[in-house]
Structure 1
Amino acid sequence: MKILISTDIEGVAGVVHHQQVRAGNPEYERARVLMAQEANAAIAGAFDGGATEVLVNDSHGDFRNMPAELLDPRARFVLGKPRYLGMMAGVDQGVQAVCMIGYHARAQGRGILAHTTNSFAFRRVLFDDVETGEAGMYGALAGEYGVPVVMCSGDDAFIEEHRALFPGAVFVQTKQATGQTSGISLSPAAAREAIRAGVATALRQPGRAAALVLRTPLQVRVQTQSPALADLFCQWPTLQRRAVDEIAFDAPSVEAAVRTINCLSAMSSLLR
C-alpha cells in the first residue's frame, strides 16, 4: 500500500503567527522543525497502518521547508517548485490514499492563519459557486486520480469546514482557534502522538473514505484582494472580469483549475 502525505505548516501544533510560517524569521526555523516532526509522526502511523511505501509532499510556500536530515529515512520526499500538481504532487505515482497534515481553514474562515493558496492575492475561490480552500481543491484533485483523502490534521475551524467534504476521513485536532493569530494548542508531543494514531487508524479501515469527485467542467470564480490584482489577472485572455475585484474562468478538469490558480498566484508577485 502506497501512501501520499501532504504536509502544510499553518495547522501544525504550536504555530499561530505569520512570523512562524515565513522564511527569514527565527520563529520559522523552529516551526519548520515542528512541521517535519508532524510529518514523521504521519510516516510512522502510515507504516503502523500497513503502508509499504510512503511519499511526503512538502506543501507549504516554496515547497522546501522541512530540513531533509530530520525526515524519516523510510519515506521519500517531494520538494521544490515548479510542480504541476502543487500540494498534491505525487498523487499520480500510484498511491492508494492521501493524508493531509498541518492543513488550515480557507480564506475568510475563522481558523488560525486561514487563507487560500495566496493570502496576498485571493480573498475567495469558488468552484461552481461553492467556496473552497486548499484542502477542498487538492482533495478534489486527488479524487480526479481516484485517490481518497483518508486522514487530516489541523485546527477545529479546518475540521469543521471539511468534515462534510471528507466524511469517511479520520480528523485529528491539533489546536483550537481563538482568532486569526491565536489559539489553544496541544503540545507538539501530544499532537504527534495523535497524528500517528490517526493515520494508522485511517489506513486500517480500507474503503471507509471515498474519493472526492467533482463534476467537470468547472466554472471557477476568484475574488481578489484588490481591483489591481483583477486588472493584472485579466491580462490572461481567457479570463473574464465578473466584478471590480472578481474574475472567472472555465476549467475542463480540477487539475486545470488548480494549475490556473497557481499560475495566478505566481502572477500576483508582480504587484508586491
Structure 2
Amino acid sequence: MLTDISVSGNPALAVLAGIAFSFFAMTGFENTANVAEETVDPHRSFPRSLVGGMVVAGTVYVLVSMAAALTVPVDQLANSDAALLEVVKQGILPFSTDGMTTLFSVIALIAITNTTLVTIVTQPRILYGMAKEDVVPGVFATIHATRRSPWVGLLFSAAVVAGLLIAGTVLLEAGGGIDLVNRLALVTVVLLLAIYALVIVACLKLRGRDEDERTFRANTPLLIVGLVGNLAILGFSIYDDPSSLIWCAALIAVGVVLFLIEYAVGSRNRPPGAERGDPETAARTEV
C-alpha cells in the first residue's frame, strides 16, 4: 500500500536511504551545463531545460515507483535484482512475458549506452574549458578543423571510459565478492554530492562578482536548502558505507598524480614570467 510508510528503523534514516539510492538515477543532468553554450540564448533556455527536465524525469520516476508498489509487494521488489521485471512477470500487460523481458534488457542496454555517450560528449568540453584556463595541457583545447569539436579531449575521454570498462571486467573476473555496479554507483554519488555542495558554497560566496543582466541568479533560500540536503545525504552515504571513502580517495589520488605530472611538465613549457592559470598563457601554449 502506498500509505504504508512503516519502517523497522529510524524513519529519517529510511528517507535518506531512499534519497541516496535514487540520487544516482538523477545524475547526468548536470552535464547539460557543459554544452549549454552551444545552444541559442543559453542564459534563458538552459535553466528552463534543466529544471524542466528534472521535474519531468522525477515525475516519471515517482509514477513508475507507485505503479510498481501497487502491483508487486514491496518486500519482493526490494529483494529483486530487476524490480521492473517483477512487475512485468505479473502478467498485467497483454504481451508475452518473455518478450517484455527481452525488451527491458534492450532498453537497459540503450540507457547505459546513452549515459556513456553523454559522458564522452561532455567531458571533452570540460577539458577544453580547463585547457583554455591553463589548468590542463593546452592540447585539450585543440579544435577539429571541420567539425569544430575538441577532438583530442574526445579521444582521451573515450580512452578513460574504455580503461574503466576493462578494469571493471578484470575485477569481476578476479572475483573477491565486489558488487562493482553498486560500488561505482555509491562512489559516484559520494563524489557528486561533495562537488555539488562545493558548487553551492562557491555560488553563495561569489555573489555579485562578474554579473550582468544576463547572469542567472539562483534563489538564495533554495541554495541553502540544497546545501543542507546535499550534506545530509552525503553524511548518510558515508555512514552507511564508510569504505566508499577509500574508493573516493583512490580516485582523487589518481587525479593528484596527474595534476603533479601536468604541473611539472607545464612549468617547463610555460614562457618565462608567465603565471599558471593565465588564459593568455594557455592561448600561447595551445597546440
TM-score for the superposition, normalised by structure 2: 0.24
Q: Which has the larger radius of gyration?
A: 2
Comparing both structures, which one devotes a greater share of its residues to helix? 2
TM-score for the superposition, normalised by structure 1: 0.24
Comparing both structures, which one devotes a greater share of its residues to strand? 1
